[in-house]
Every structure is written in structure tokens, then in C-alpha cells.
Amino acid sequence: MYLVVVMPQEFRSYINDVIPKVAEAYGNLLSIKLIVDDVKLSNRFYDPFRNQYRAWQIIDSLGPCKEPTVYVLNVDAYVPSLNFVFGLADPYLKCAAVFTPRLNHPNHITFTTRLAKEIVHESGHLMGLHHCLDFRCVMSFSNSIIDVDRKSWRFCNRCYNLLQRSLISKL
Ligand code: ZN
Ligand code: ZN
């Protein structure tokens, strides 16, 4: 089984710092297929009053995906109940997005580590995982960038075992 990660051209130089961490989180459970592509988002998804994109509409337009896919998008986005989201996933459409502006940091490693965590987190949802109460686990919910920095890019043992079971059942 594959996890597809779609990165925009402008993030090419980050690939070598992001993808190995995502691959390491999954171990030998699945392989990562990287695609470098600029996704053109329709203006219809843009909310001029909030200066943000509507995250669910983006996911609905990108899905359904053949294989679980995470799109990395350099736009700020929100869902109606929250001020912003770092990412969003719809397991039924097998489609997720990570929104990078709020992950930005002048330090290359800090930024790429945050990006890797959010890709693993949203793809974890695509694989059927829910939020985890272990704050070190990549599946813990992040309310703020402090939470993102605190967690690891890896799954805790419990989530990894759930993942293993869920992926085996899909074979
Ligand atoms: Zn989540
Ligand atoms: Zn966990």
C-alpha cells in the first residue's frame, strides 16, 4: 500500500528533510509515493472576509483519491468551528491536506519537522486513526504550534499497533 504525498514546487528543497521522517513513522507498513505538483485552488474556496480558504471545500474538490493522499498547500485554511486548521483529512475520500503558513519558521529544520508531523498526523486519519491522548504521539490533537512542536513525528506504540491492524485488514 502507498501513501501519496503531493508537494508544491516551491517546497522542493524541503523534500529530503520531510519525506524520510514520514517514511520512518510508517516503518515497513507502507511506502511513500512523492509527487511534486502545484495544485491550483479555485477562488470559490477563498473567504475574503477571513482571508482564509475553506478547508472542507478544498478536500471535497481534491477527493476522492485512489490511494490515500496528502496534499501540502501553502494557504491558510479554516473549518467553521475553528479559527484555523493545520490540516484536515477525510478518510472516506482518502484525501487530506496540510496547510503550511502557520507552520512557518525561519529555521529550516523546525519548519520541515513541523511539516513532517502534520503529514503523518493527517495521513494517520486517512488510515483510520483517531486522536491520541498521549501528547508525544503524532496523533495527539494540536491546538497551537506549541502542541505541534511538543509532539513527535512518530506514532506511539498503541497507534502504531492500531495502524498495523487496520492496514493488514485492507490488504
Ligand atoms: Zn487530527
Ligand atoms: Zn498515539
- Taking only the tens place, the pLDDT of each residue in 116-137 is 999 999 999 999 999 999 999 9
What's the pLDDT tens digit per position in 8-23?
999 999 999 999 999 9
Bond into 68 cis (ω within 30): no
How many Å from the N-terminal Cα to the C-terminal Cα in the chain?
8
Task: Tell me the domains of the chain and their CATH numbers.
Answer: 2-169 (3.40.390.10)
What residues form DSSP beta bridges with 35? Answer: 6
**pTM (predicted TM-score):** 0.97
Which residues are within 5 Å of ligand 2 (an ion), measured at CB?
132, 134, 137, 139, 156, 159
Which residues are catalytic, by number? Answer: 122
Ligand 1 center–CA 28 separation, angstroms = 23
**Grid coordinates standing for 141?**
490533537
**CA dihedral angle for residue 116, residue 119, residue 125, residue 126, rounded to 10 degrees:** -130
Ligand 2 center–CA 59 separation, angstroms = 24
What's the pLDDT tens digit per position in 47-103?
999 999 999 999 999 999 999 999 999 999 999 999 999 999 999 999 999 999 999
The pLDDT value given to residue 167: 86
Dist CA 29 CA 169 (whole Å): 12
Count Cβ atoms below 10 Å from residue 35 Cβ, excluding itself. 10
